[in-house]
Amino acid sequence: MSEHLLPGNIASDAPQMPSTQLPDKEKITKYLDAVTAKAGEVNPKLASCMEVCKPLIVLPIQLISCITPFYLWCYKWAYLIYSYLPKNATMAIFGIALCFFGGTYVASIAAIEAFRQMGFVKVMEDIAVVRKDLDTLAVANKLDDEELSKDKDGDGVADGNQLKPAELAQRKLFVVMKSVQQPDKLQAAVGSLWAAYIAVLATLKLEFARTTAFALGIVEIVKLPIVRTTAPLVVTALQMAPPDMRLDAEATKAWSVTIIESALTFFAVVVAWYLQMIISAFYSGLRGGRMFADGVCSLLIEYNLMSYVPFIAQPFDPEESYLDEAIGYSMAALGFSFQFFSGFQLPFPLNIIFLPLSLIEWFLRIQISMSDAGVH
């Protein structure tokens, strides 16, 4: 985006495209060795487990470290544009988002609403405290990594590579302690954020309790006939194990019932959430369509463009006109149809752009469904 296209002084404040170079595997392994060494002092079994799982940990950390700067860059641009948009344009954009994605992100939208009602200002203040300390820590860690990459003794090996894992862990611990100037405020902010998360999660569980109850009701109705029909097949499959690994008859029967009931519960929860998405998509379509219509009509009035709209009596009176209803209901129908016929899946490239939000959505759904009622 060229600078002359940006309003005001956005160009000077625009975030720069970050580097998405894949992090050094050896550096991540070194950090994991340091963590493993410290964990071994507390629990040797935990250290052994981390050592075995190390190859499975390195690659995800590399990928997350690689793509996170890109998403931060995108979201900073989005926030920057949002800051300069008129209020009515922002309302229209949020309305379109609700129309087309309200059912897909039903749990996330409900969580945002719960956050807003439970002291949004205080939560944002706590996030600002945590973010400030994280930014300071990131700068200090980068400077420390540059220092460790030097070869001060001239032996041809970087000084950081000569540190033992325990020494590296201790050094990084002191980097953290020196970066956080007010640990009491950080502790209070983290505790406040955790309390807000628990409160929001409790609210979501109450709000979506019928979803889990509906799923359990389905399982209770169909469990007996399905277990009778499919249990012999599962028992036969379990008996195909090697002789030295084969279970006895009683254990085989118990495991077959457990496997079938778990599969039924999972399938019922998926179906229940799909039905919940349909209901939420219908509601969010109506609500988003109304927001979009109000935003568009307000923009037309603000810029004196309403007189150019055909078949509208002048002067325009929203109480006497059906223009906002026509726009709102049309957008609601279009948004709901898009969501339903796309299977509540985002098209490319939106599925990539909103991947972090999709992960949060599924995390919230799992948290909601794993209530005491959902486990049993």
Give the residue extent of every domain in the chain: 17-87+120-207, 210-375
Q: Answer whether 297's CB lies under 8 Å from 327's CB.
A: yes
Residues 6+ apart with CB under 8 A from 360: 108
Least confident of 42-46, 83-87, 136-140, 197-201: 42-46
Q: What Rg value do the Cα atoms of the chain yield, rounded?
A: 27
pLDDT tens, position by position, 155-168: 777 777 777 766 77
Mean pLDDT, the chain, as a whole number?
79
Distance CA 62, CA 69 (A): 12
Mean pLDDT of 354-361: 87
Q: What tokens appear for 205 in the block?
A: 């569980």
Tell me, what's the pLDDT at 373? Answer: 44
Tell me, what's the pLDDT at 306? Answer: 73
Mean pLDDT of 277-283: 89
Q: Answer whether 277's CB lies under 8 Å from 103's CB.
A: yes
Q: What is the DSSP letter of 18?
A: P
Distance CA 176, CA 239 (A): 54
Mean pLDDT of 298-310: 78
Closest CA to 123 of 57, 170, 190: 190
User: Is residue 214 helix, strand or coil?
Assistant: helix
Q: What is the DSSP letter of 322?
A: S
Where residue 192 falls among pLDDT bands split at 50, 70, 90? confident
Distance CA 227, CA 178 (A): 60
Question: Would you say residue 118 has pLDDT above 60?
Answer: yes
Residues 6+ apart with CB under 8 A from 333: 285, 289
Alpha-helical regions (H) of the chain = 10-13, 25-42, 44-84, 87-101, 106-117, 120-148, 165-179, 183-207, 209-238, 249-302, 323-341, 350-353, 355-369, 372-375
Closest CA to 339 of 268, 290, 283, 291: 283
Mean pLDDT of 57-85: 79
For tokens 């032996």, the residue is 155
Tell me, what's the pLDDT at 111? Answer: 84
Query: 3-state SS string over 19-78?
Result: CCCCCCHHHHHHHHHHHHHHHHHHCHHHHHHHHHHHHHHHHHHHHHHHHHHHHHHHHHHH
Q: Answer whether 108's CB lies under 8 Å from 364's CB.
A: yes
pLDDT tens, position by position, 1-32: 444 444 445 555 566 655 544 456 666 777 77
Q: Answer whether 280's CB lies under 8 Å from 361's CB.
A: no
Burial of 187 (0-12, 13-18, 19+ CB in 10 A): exposed
Residues 6+ apart with CB under 8 A from 147: 159
Q: Answer whether 215's CB lies under 8 Å from 269's CB.
A: yes
Q: What tokens appear for 370 in the block?
A: 């794993």
Query: 3-state SS string over 165-185?
Result: HHHHHHHHHHHHHHHCCCHHH
Percent of the chain's residues with pLDDT above 70: 87
For the chain, first and last CA: distance in Å? 53
| The model scores a pTM over 0.75 | no
Say which amino acid occupies 148. Answer: L
